[in-house]
Amino acid sequence: MLASPSGQVFHQCDQDKAIETFFTWCNSEQWNPGHKGHDIEIFHKADPKGFFISTVEPSNETNADTKEIPAKDEVVSMICGVRYGEDQGWIGYYIASPKYRGRGYGLATFNRAIDHLTPQTRESIGLDGVTAQVENYRKSGFTEIAWLNERRHGSAVELVETQERELADKITRNEVEGLVLLSDPNVDLDQLPGIETRYCGLKRPQFVKDWAQFHANHPEEHRFGIALLSPDKKDEKSGKPLVLGYACVRPATSSYRVGPLYAVDGDVAKKLLVKMAVEVVQAEKQSPYGVPLVFDVDMPDKNPAAVKLFDGLGWKNTFPCLRMWKGKIPESDVNGVFGVTLLELG
């Protein structure tokens, strides 16, 4: 627990507190987090010391014109600053209470997360910045722009029943060679972190494996992980088929969130996308969750094959934001990114 000069107090969140506070606040801000906050368990595991909430001691509130004073132990802001190894970090879940905005609580919380990431994280700190906050992030040193994320939004039902019905039928009959769930024993999960580093530049092998397992083993929770395996190429280390692409989808509050969607080309990406839609539509029919059967995919505008895929489906951009970096932009091949893992943690 640390206090700022203004009396703002920062508290590290354990997993239960992070799920309770971060999930609740995201819903109140009309964000679209994972179903029941289960995904936050994986986020918190990535860096248990990187999740913060802040309160203010009422006696330290000095603004005489303020009509509302935060109650003791009332949370006024939250954020996470997650370390990935020794040279990368990520800022996410940055929210200040609407009742107390404009008093500097948010900026102080932001700086607390930066303090957690430095000096250990010397090379690259990233975030996905909403348009309204881009200039503020630039003032805080996030001056390097990797790409613009476009949140493409479309119907999973239309995808399988109309737009790609022939492909969906083949998938349902298991006639697409190499298209399997991540839980399939032929999938070499050790290949996945390298795929993310190659395409997205992030180096977080344990998180990638945890994220894959989170989706691979819980179809009853409507979470699915998919891979497309090469029919003839093998991984040199494991001897298992080379992974040509993989993708994950999970129920959220107002849609299903897709992420990541990594693929060697647009054809592989389409097969992964349709396979996810087939699984989600079938799951919803068998045990309804009530989550709208639509997908949200955060796609980099710099990948022309991704733009072509989603433009061809008529999926519109409903939420743009910039992938910004403080320090060095990690080297990556964005042409393999058809959907980032998630905006909250990169």
279, with CB counted inside 10 A (0-12, 13-18, 19+), is buried
* C-alpha dihedral sign at 33, 1, 130, 117: negative
d(CA 175, CA 168): 10
**Residue 314 zone, left/alpha/beta (φ > 0; ψ -120 to 50; rest):** left
Q: How many residues does the chain have?
A: 346
Summarised one tens digit per residue, pLDDT across range 187-245 is 999 999 999 999 999 999 999 999 999 999 788 999 999 999 999 999 999 999 999 99
Alpha carbon of residue 345 to chain centroid: 5
pLDDT in tens, 43-88: 889 999 999 988 887 665 555 454 577 777 888 888 999 999 889 9
Sign of torsion over alpha carbons 286, 292, 298, 304 = positive
Span 321-336, average pLDDT? 96
Within the chain, what is the greatest distance between any pair of CA atoms?
Answer: 72
The whole-chain average pLDDT of the chain stands at: 90
pLDDT at 19: 81
What's the rounded Cα separation, in Å, for the pair 185 and 192?
A: 14
256-308 pLDDT, tens digit per residue, is 999 999 999 999 999 999 999 999 999 999 999 889 999 999 999 999 999 99
Euclidean distance between CA atoms 215 and 221, whole angstroms: 9
Crossing angle of helices 266-286/304-313, nearest 10°? 40
